[in-house]
Structure 1
Amino acid sequence: MYVLHSLWDTEAFYIWAESSALPLVNQGYSVSSEGIPAHPFSLPGKELKTQISRAFHLNGAKTRALILRIPSGKNGPLPSPWLLREDYISQKPAGLIECAVDVLALAPDLAAKFLLDLPIHPLKGVVYADSMRFWSRLALYSLELVAKEQFVPAVRERYSLWKAVMDETDLERLDRFSKAMPPSCQALRLFPTDKSSPKDLARSFVDGMADSLVRGSLEQLTLLPPKRGRRPRVIPLPQQFLLSLTSKDPTLEASTEEVAAFAKKMNSWISELEPKAVSVPFRTCFRLQAPAEEETWRLSFFLQAKDDRSLMVPAGEVWRTKSDALTLLKKSIKNPQEQLLADLGRAARLFPQLEKSLETARPAELEMETTEAYSFLRQSAPLLEQNGFGVMLPTWWQRPGTRLGVKLQLRDAPRKEGNAGSAFFGLNSVVEYDWQLSLGDYVISREEFAQLSHLKIPLIQIRGEWMELRPQDIEAAIDFFHKNRNHEMTLAEALHLGLNPAGHPLPEAKTTLPVHGFEAEGKIKEMLSALSDPSGHMEQLSSPLDFQGTLRPYQLRGVSWLMYLNRLGLGACLADDMGLGKTIELIAFLLHERETMKGPGPTLLICPMSVAGNWEREIERFAPGLKVLMHHGLGRLSGQDFEKAAEKADVVITTYSLAQRDEEELNAVSWGHIVLDEAQGIKNQSARQTQSIKRLKATQKIALTGTPVENRLSELWSIMDFLNPGYLGSFESFRRDFVLPIERYNNRAHSEALRSLIQPFVLRRLKTDTTVIKDLPEKTEMKVGYNLTPEQASLYAAVVEDMLSRIESSEGMKRRGQILAALTKLKQICNHPALFLQDGSPLEGRSGKLSRLEEMLDEAISVGDRALIFTQFAGMGAMLRHQLQEKLGVEVLFLHGKTSRKQREEMIQRFQQGSSPIFILSLKAGGFGLNLTAANHVFHFDRWWNPAVENQATDRAFRIGQKKNVFVHKFVCAGTLEERIDQMIEQKKALAESVIGTGEAWLTELSDDSLRELLVLRQEAVSNGSDSSDRSDRK
């Protein structure tokens, strides 16, 4: 696991990393060339390049060494708390120590790109330290300032730069950032000689980011008109300054004195834009009043209380004041006339038309023509607000619908012969529409539009109401006339439009004009009505006749919802929380479809390899009438053999990588459904695997996932584009319209628009939902199926054969001892080969059980759940702790027999208070006497074949004080000892205490033949390893 830290130092951004693999055993502390010890946990420069730079695409980053001041303990530098080093948890910092650290040095432009593109959730095995999160948030704040055009050119030393301009509100936010700056951000600045403050550092960073962002945007532009002829040898400093503002090189080539004089003038001009650090209770406010008829507009001046914006003093009253102070509701304004006059002079720099009012002795208002008023509304009003002035605009200006737009009426296109009986049609089918131009609520004809556009006036009055007529809207309307002569759009575009809030534009292929009105008729109206209000149109289904089990009410609603979208011919994403039963909801849906519809076609189920066997078992358990074909492994069918077998099956199960490899064969089958389990497997929209799966054809597509968005909104687009291609537009338009506004600017309007678009197609219920809680039992137990890897299977078979050969010639205590030893070995092998071999070998990819646990925990902690993991092997607990911390990037606690009482209490407190989401406990040390009600998941990683012992462990979470529903997961591998003993326990639960009450001793009494039947490995226990084994040798 890597912990990423970062620093800023006026000219560069530095990244350094700690590694959980360091320091190496007996490594000791190395010493830099300056005699300063190297940080023992920091990643060396070479590995920074290969591991971090490559992972984050930091091409151009250079490595170098820095000297930082780091918290130290009695034995040297301490690891940061994110490194989760158990051997250091109890150590408290004794002070700061100088350490040499290798860093990646990023130029400001690369730093801006890195920080703005930083995933919300880190990559697997990577953790962001608080310094990294701080600079990332401050970079977003810098981008916000640039997006609002709050920047000006400036000079610093011998360099040009673009500097952020901040009003009082912005400076307050910067001050809050500065106060929240983690000390680790200042590790370069904690030396006694450094007098700069966190605020100076934060301001320097914001200016650095602003300069990089603006300079990058203007790279292809020039601020000077091109000149003919030979370039002069010496370019005057003002021209040089303008040229350097769009260049990668900001250096100014002139004498020190000349640059200093120029900088003084520039910075003096810029200082006028900065809000003065004067604490006064009132500010100058401007109120714009629109004329009732086509007369002049009036801009009135006021002094306005900052803490109560309703308290306003008209300028006329200010001028009539004869004393040096003006009192209003116990609020006093000192020298009000001077303040008003000074503010008006400052505002005139931002809105030059104000200078006309300053020609009078007592300015109180400004009269303007319509074009001047429009300039004020569009340009000057935002600038005045950004600089701390109050601005009050007519209410219609902010109201949607006061600009040029379109009103649409959609209807079904004439159906082709033979299609009259179809209920609905595909998303690519064509619908017809009529359109009309509108200004607000008023429809305007093309003739009226032509007259208005010739006026070339941006503000017009229609029937007593003022409307905005933007030049770009006029161009868009003219373009709309040309593009929409056939009056057709796809059903996907129609749904996108009908489910989108009013005021948003049509799909990009049509126009950028906002939609002011929308009506539909026929089947489109019916579909939109059904999607907007599912409860009013969705038939509530009962459990299928052949379903072997009981569906809870919320699960029946899920089945009904799937069937409802199926009848509409639309894709569905079932995104219920882990443990709520997505698997059985889908199985029940498939059963119900076959009971009520003729020939729906086979279902292709694509899932991770780790759960393929579990799907087969769950279908056999809940719907034994469904025919299942497993398309996986070396002996899988191909060609016509596969096609014929698939057509006869109800469900064909395959894996993600095989779906890519066997794309041609899979496409030869007419699928009724394609279902993706763990649909985040296609989150990378550009991956070959994703592209292959999207090319597969089916009547309906379904996605199952507990985490529809893991890191970025682009993952949601990829899933939705699989379900309903084209509905969310192209990836480029989705990125422009939603990803950037939401992820970078946290734009609430765009977020609400996206939610309204996807809501009809995504059903997500959480365990905390009131409609779900009432349907759930307080404790839900479930078996988690998995498969052994080939390595596990080989070791398992060898141990069984060795034991069976030994007990043939043994009896009594010796026989019992051999059986118990073999059972322990088999449990260890099912857990992980490294636990059995005790060789310290790597863990990754060698245990089906561990892979499944990682997947489930990843989903659980992503929604804020917390989990207990019980194992009877302390060695397994240690392995799990290391692996899960590395893989999931969270703190994992481990309580075992050697844990001291003090450490035990600290761990319990950390888990209960939410510091650590995962707690591993050895069954003997943590199986009783603890209160761990913060957990709502309990995983029994290996089984103790005494139900009472397992229940006692489960009751660490399921006990008095537990306010959540508890989900208990018991791992069982089909075809192994685990499955058979689990079946015996289930069959004899009523007699558990008397029959199996002594743990595993009862197994030693079985005959040789019974043991052979119980222990010999069956074929279904084994996965075929990675899908790379599926490339050849197929039937």
Structure 2
Amino acid sequence: MLVLHGVWDGGTLAVWGEAERTDPVVRRPSRAGAHPFALRARTLRSVLSGSGVGGRVGELALTLPGDPTGPVHSTLAGRDTGPAGAHPWTVPAVHLSPAEAVRFLSAPAPEGTVLGPALEHLGAVLAFAEHLVGTGCVLPDLVGRPARARWRPAPVEQAERHLSALAAALPAASRAHLPGADADTVTRRCVLAPVELLTDAVARGRARAPVRPGPERAGSPEDALAHALTGDDAHVGPESVERLRVPLRRWRSRVRGAGRAELLFLLREPEDEGPQVWSVEFWVRSAAEPGLRLPLEQVWSGEGAAWLPENTAATVSADLRAAARYYPALGRVADQAGPTHLSLRTEGAEEFVHRYAPRLSAAGLAVVLPDWAGRRSLGLRMTVSEGQGRRRKGGVGPDDLVGVSFEALLGGDDEPLDRAELEELAELARLKRSLVRVRGRWSEMDPGQVEDLLAAMRRQRRIRREQALRMAVGAEQAPLPVAEVVADGPLGQLLDGGARAELRPMGAPPGFSGTLRPYQDRGASWLRFMGELGLGAVLADDMGLGKTVQLLALLTDERAEGTAAGPTLLVCPVSLVGNWRREAERFAPGLRVHVQHGPDRPSGNALARLAGSCDLVVTTYGVVARDGEELAALPWYRVVCDEAQALKNHGTRQARAVRSLPASTRIALTGTPVENNLDELWSVMDFANPGLLGDAADFRRAMGERAEAEQGEGEHTDLVRRLTGPFVLRRLKTDRSIISDLPEKHLVRTWCTLTSEQASLYKAVVDEMARRLEEADERERKGLILTTMARLKAVCNHPAQFLGDGSALAGRSGKVDRLEAVLGEVAAQGDKALCFTQYARFGERLVPYLRSRLGVPVLWLHGGTPRAEREAMVERFQNAAGPAVFVLSLKAAGTGLNLTAANHVVHVDRWWNPAVENQATDRAFRIGQRRDVQVRTMVCVGTLEERVEEMMERKSALAEGVVATGEERLAQLSVSELREVVRLAPEAVAG
């Protein structure tokens, strides 16, 4: 008789077997560590073939009862006849896919075999999976990267109880391949994983054929999902994933919450005074209206609200026990009578934040963490001071040394951490603490980063200017992300403005025959500015905007000022040689120009003498490829590549020859810096500023491939923009030059209504304010009113902002629905819009939601946006073709930005200070704007937003306030006036 065993190993069922023995231990010659009773792979495959499965042969490491002399046979392992303890052994195994596992476990045991306890348990798991599929308790989902479609068990209460029973009945043989694993890991890998995969396999097996859509749905995301759920290929394309992931997640959440109250875990910080005791509080919330929630303490005491179902206590108890599978510490309280919270030390809170809160959330359980969780608490202020190294005439070289020092910034604070605070952080870092209390508030930090930061701050160093540039824009590793850069001299000017720096106008240089348009003057001035810094530049103006004229103006200016330290070599396609010669004769007749081309072109000393007497030498890419060594031996002041996309294949002989030409500064002229992929941008940038983007292979691996996959939106795309932004000047034919007058500005009030959820939250906040006002003294009154105003404004925006629970946005806010409709109309017209909100956390939630709903680029700028990234986003918004939306934090972006590409401005929520709002509006309504600007203010009807709007119109003193904000003025109202302001009118609620 043969005994078959099996363990769930990753995504497969690994089956192994042993021959029947009568002795407790049988020793036979075998290689070290091999199980002496185990069936050979060939025998095992032959046995399994009777069940109609093949499988993949492999080897399995198990820890089994026995000692180093041999294992105890499974039929004797429970008797007191063998050696004590356990020892690792290897066995041949056949790995079955989930579909093969279903066939094997459904078939009778092969003749002459019995199934061990682990396979019997997996049979029970399969029976549970079949029950789920048969009763329709399954939902489609998308898992993994790249995404695959999978049928998953629906999160219903009966399933939770059955899973708990299966976990409790798990035999020891099922976890023989997981020695030392904790109970949580064993449950996930030996029960939850096979349930998931066997459920999917059963559901697919019962599908008769892949779904065939009608003509109207062919090619849709839903069609792709249906095929992936019923066919052999479970992969789903990225576009379909983007459209389907959120709706599928909402579907699952609705099923979990249908007809029941949901369990919610809320992490509470320690009080300001006293011991540092954290607590995970247990709450319940309404599945239909997540804004309604109660602490579990009131549920146990019978003080529940009317919205709670009758069976809430039993449901929550079951949920709490089920949650212990994902957070084992809950086991300490789950079986207690009326548990209300779990107390933790700081170490336990760290583990909850980093390890268990994500697990609970992934399992569909609600978790609310403090605002600081998952946010970068520490950043760097990088100070760069000019060095004393080699300097060029008129500027600085990229190899000059600069002094670099760092200061630590906490959160959004402008004041750096002092020595005492840093020492405290150092001590906590040595203790490997990630949750720390600094300046009276808790923050989350990486101990390793703190140690790196302290090491960097203990020394000031001198580094190459190029390295400082890379570090400042985030391309080179710093101890922490660089949030702010302070630099003096030319480097500071470059980092502060880059292509938008304040430049010394060039005008019409002496000897220049023509008039520069304003943007051409700026382009020539920028090229001069970059040359004075000894840095390369990429002038990426659209075709027809006059790149040739701008370069000729620069050369003429240098000739008049005597600042050029040698000739400029211009490399262009052969078809443009004549154009350069004619344009030079027309616009810069005083320039000494030589064309180095043709079979009779000079070489050797003749070329050297001729080049030395010229201002501009024009040659072709082909000549450089052939005469590269000779040209590289000459002392060029500047090398210019026209149509620089000719360098896009950086490995060609032509591109290598051009890059080998030495020069003090370089300029790339191109209308298309990227034609196909970011390798082309690397090649152009590496010509202009060698080494700035690192090695080509490293750039492609670290940034290029990921940025291309992001399709214009994402972390790596932003990094490339930050890195290249200071060195690239890009203008399009659609750009507008400065004009003498401005178009019209139209002010529109957009009325919004509240949803029923918003209305219930609004009323609760008003009632609480009224109750607390009766007990508050004059000193407490102002703070209470200001807090209430902020809470009511958050309710008017969205319940998720008020609750801070990370819940879904769709369909819960009248204002957000109206905003989506307004922006949809803007996008349909091909226009661009600015959206201002004073709440950065709300903006973070709003941006991905709008991206998914509108299908156009949606950018996001807030106070924590690094300067380089800020400038890159502005550049992209201004120059991008087609519709786009820019969401901005009012405080961070109300001044100092030029966003004239937008002709729509939306104030999502109100600062209630006209001066501040007007400054924000002027980001679009300013010189350079060619079209009328429509300014919308969103107001929730029947709420304090409408009444403050009326007050601003009625009382000019309030409307003209500059120092005091609207909230502070409201704090001066009488109680009766205040009640009228915050009253919820019947017309406030939709429907």
TM-score bin (small chain): 0.3 to 0.5
